[in-house]
Structure 1
C-alpha cells in the first residue's frame, strides 16, 4: 500500500464512526499549497467553511509574508483558519463537533488548526 491508500483507509473508518453518532463533522483537508476546514452536518451539507483561499485570509497573509519565512507563514495560516472556522460555527450555534482529520496524522498543521479551534470555543 502506498501512503495515499493508507490515509484514505484511515479517513473512511473515521467517517463511518462519526456518521453513526450523527454529529456535526469538523473536516480538515490540506494540500501542499492550501488548507481547508469545513463543518458538515450528518446529511452531508456544508454549514460553515474556511480556507486559505479566502480573500480576507489572503490579505492577512500578504501583510505577514514580508516578515516571516515560508514554514512560519504556513503555521500562522493553520492557526488563522482554526480561529475563523470556530468563530463562524459559534455564530450559527454549533459548539460541539466531531473532528475528522481526513486520515492525516495529528501533528503539524492539523494539530495547530485543531488547537486554535479549541481555544476559540469549539468542543470536540
Structure 2
C-alpha cells in the first residue's frame, strides 16, 4: 500500500536527520513549513539547544504584506541577520522533509543573501 503524504514526509525527514546534525562550529538550520507560516531555527544538536529562531508569526512580521514566498525570503534574511549577531556564519541546511522548492527555497535564498553559508 502506498504511503500517505505525511508518512512520506516523515520518512524523508528521518533520512535527512541521519546524515545532518548541528555542531557548535556548524549548527543546523531547521525549516518547518505550515500552511500559513514558516519557521526557522538554528540548532546545536550536541547540546540540544536552539541558538536562533525566527518565524513569520513573530511580531516583527505582523505588518509585512506579500505572498508566502516573499515572507519566507524576509524570514530567511532575518535568520541570517540574527545568526550574524550570534557569531554564526556557516550552517547545515535541514529542509525538514519538504521539497527544496517554493517557500523553503525562498527562505534558503534569503538566508544566503543575508550572508549565511551552507
Structure 2 unmatched runs, 5+: none
Distance, in Å, in 2 between the alignment partners of 1:111 and 1:39 is 17
Q: Which residue in the other structure is 2:51 paired with? A: 47
For residue 44 of structure 1, report the CA deviation from its aligned partner: 2.1
Distance, in Å, in 2 between the alignment partners of 1:44 and 1:83 is 24
**1:102-117 maps to which residues of 2 (within 5 A)?**
102-117=96-111
Distance, in Å, in 1 between the alignment partners of 2:15 and 2:84 is 27
Q: Which residue in the other structure is 1:81 paired with? A: 75
Structure 1 unmatched runs, 5+: 65-71
Distance, in Å, in 2 between the alignment partners of 1:114 and 1:34 is 15
Q: Which TM-score applies when normalising by structure 1?
A: 0.86
- Runs of 4+ that moved beyond 3 A: none
What SS is found at the alignment partner of 1:50? Answer: strand
Distance, in Å, in 1 between the alignment partners of 2:61 and 2:48 is 26
Tell me the alpha carbon deviations over residues 67-108 of structure 1, each in whole angstroms, 9 at most, x when there is no partner: xxxxx5211110110000000001111111100010000000
Tell me the alpha carbon deviations over residues 33-91 of structure 1, each in whole angstroms, 9 at most, x when there is no partner: 111000000222100000011111112x2xx3xxxxxxx52111101100000000011
For residue 3 of structure 1, report the CA deviation from its aligned partner: 1.0
- Give the alignment's Cα RMSD to 1 decimal: 1.3
**1:19-34 maps to which residues of 2 (within 5 A)?**
19=21, 22=23, 23-34=26-37
